[in-house]
Amino acid sequence: MRWTVVAVLVAFAVIYVLVGRERTIPPGVVLPNIIATPMSEAEATTFLATMHATATVEEREGELSIRVSAATFPVRREGQLALAQQYARADELIQRRKRPITFLDASGSRFARSDPATGVTLTR
């Protein structure tokens, strides 16, 4: 009975470590879209409107700068990449072209970059 309890606890600990561990995403590496579901124009418009309600968006010479508020900034790196990828996809759908986008956290530090030629990457 005692070994069964120990075995169950060890199995639970191993599963917790494997499932709870954050995916490694190196800076500068373009990965496929984390959210692979296709996006419609209506969904893109809604997503951008939601982002613009909480983020600071500036456009200079065709390049966007998105400063994500602290309240909506994803803590995990995978969430940060997903946010940048979704924004770039939505922007491309609405604008009908890809454009460079810089993503900043609430403190103004760059965390991701969308390049029209290569794609979206984390920068830190």
Residue 1 located in a structural domain: no
pLDDT tens, N- to C-terminus, the chain (124 residues): 766 766 666 666 666 655 665 667 777 778 778 888 899 999 999 999 999 999 999 999 889 999 999 999 999 999 999 999 999 999 999 999 999 999 999 999 999 999 999 999 999 8
Residue 67 located in a structural domain: yes
Residue 51 located in a structural domain: yes
pTM beyond cutoff 0.85: no
Residue 29 located in a structural domain: yes
Residue 69 located in a structural domain: yes
The boundaries of the domain holding residue 47 are: 25-122
Q: What's the domain count of the chain?
A: 1
Residue 58 located in a structural domain: yes
Residue 14 located in a structural domain: no
Residue 71 located in a structural domain: yes
Cα–Cα nearest to 91, from 39, 30, 35, 37: 39
> In angstroms, rounded to a whole number, what is the distance separating the alpha carbons of residues 74 and 68?
9
Cα–Cα nearest to 58, from 69, 68, 66: 66
